[in-house]
């Protein structure tokens, strides 16, 4: 009888995907991609973001293809975040896909930016990502997939983007090591490292300073970046880089001393 009850409970567990930063930009595109590609295997997508009205809009958009569970909270707020932890315990889902897409950056020299902005990038891009990954892993199924949104900025220290680039270097390094550690569970972790992408990210990033012209020239379409990321996730790749330009940049950063590239690409203050 006890075995029968356990089997029944196991069958009742929902297969879900979880996406942070789901209200805009890359996060929103990942939700759309999961709804399109996993309609028959994922029962529900848990979408996490601060702006509930944006999540409601996304829910209406995808109402015919996928059920969304709206989780409107700030994952950097410890008290609010406990709602997510409690929901995991209550629902005991089978997490098939986790996508950590929440993050932001501010352009400007370290001392030009506020203390709040510098610490905020670390808290969201690194601390919150680790927190969500740690708490969700307990519920992930064998052969589950994790995507951590990093950046091509992680390949090289970037003056006037120092904290953001450093935070994304953390994400890339952490993701590679975690993928290795989780291989016994056949869970893969993919660090997605796009260059500049045409999203709302730069509305925040350019609040005080503008993006360099050469970055504007290589801006990618978020739909194409996500499509490539999802393909690489399914292949179990540790790193996903979209486009010839960013792949060449990654190769250059591997082959050439960082100081030389920085001297060529960044102007020092007089």
- List the chain domain ranges: 14-265
Residue 216 vs residues 86, 100, 104, 151, 161: alpha-carbon distances, Å: 42, 25, 18, 15, 15
For the residues 196-222, what does the mean pLDDT come to? 62
Which pLDDT score, from 0 to 100, does residue 202 have?
Answer: 47
Strands across the sheet containing 188-192: 68-72, 44-49, 15-20, 94-100, 140-149, 188-192, 239-240
CATH code for the structural domain at 14-265: 3.40.50.720
- Asked if residue 264 has pLDDT above 90, the reply is no
pLDDT tens profile 177-192:
999 999 999 999 999 9
For the residues 109-115, what does the mean pLDDT come to? 94
Write out the two tokens for 151: 């950046």
pLDDT tens profile 239-254:
999 999 999 999 999 9
Percent of the chain with pLDDT over 90: 80
Band (pLDDT 50/70/90 cuts) for residue 128 is very high
- Asked if residue 176 has pLDDT above 80, the reply is yes
Q: How many helices (H) and strands (E) does the chain have?
A: 12, 7
């Amino acid at each position: 009888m006890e075995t029968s009850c356990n089997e029944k409970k196991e069958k009742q567990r929902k297969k879900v995907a979880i996406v942070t930063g789901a209200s805009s930009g890359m996060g929103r595109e990942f939700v759309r991609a999961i709804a399109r590609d996993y309609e028959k295997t994922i029962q529900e997508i848990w979408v996490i973001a601060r702006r509930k009205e944006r999540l409601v809009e996304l829910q209406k958009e995808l109402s015919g293809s996928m059920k969304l569970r709206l989780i409107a909270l700030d994952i950097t707020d410890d008290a609010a975040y406990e709602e997510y932890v409690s929901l995991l315990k209550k629902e005991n889902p089978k997490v098939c896909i986790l996508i950590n897409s929440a993050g932001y950056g501010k352009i400007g020299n370290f001392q030009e930016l506020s203390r709040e902005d510098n610490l905020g990038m670390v808290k969201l891009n690194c601390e919150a990502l680790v927190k969500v990954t740690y708490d969700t892993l307990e519920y992930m199924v064998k052969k589950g997939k994790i995507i951590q949104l990093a950046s091509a900025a992680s390949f090289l220290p970037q003056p006037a983007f120092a904290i953001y680039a450093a935070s994304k270097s953390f994400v890339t390094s952490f993701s590679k090591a975690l993928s290795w550690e989780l291989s016994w569970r056949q869970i893969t972790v993919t660090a997605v490292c796009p260059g500049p992408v045409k999203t709302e990210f730069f509305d925040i990033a350019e609040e005080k300073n503008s993006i360099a012209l050469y970055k504007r020239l290589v801006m990618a379409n978020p739909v194409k970046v996500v499509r490539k990321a999802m393909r690489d996730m399914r292949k179990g790749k540790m790193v996903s880089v979209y486009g010839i330009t960013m792949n060449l940049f990654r190769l250059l950063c591997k082959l050439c001393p960082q100081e030389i590239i920085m001297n060529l690409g960044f102007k020092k203050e007089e």
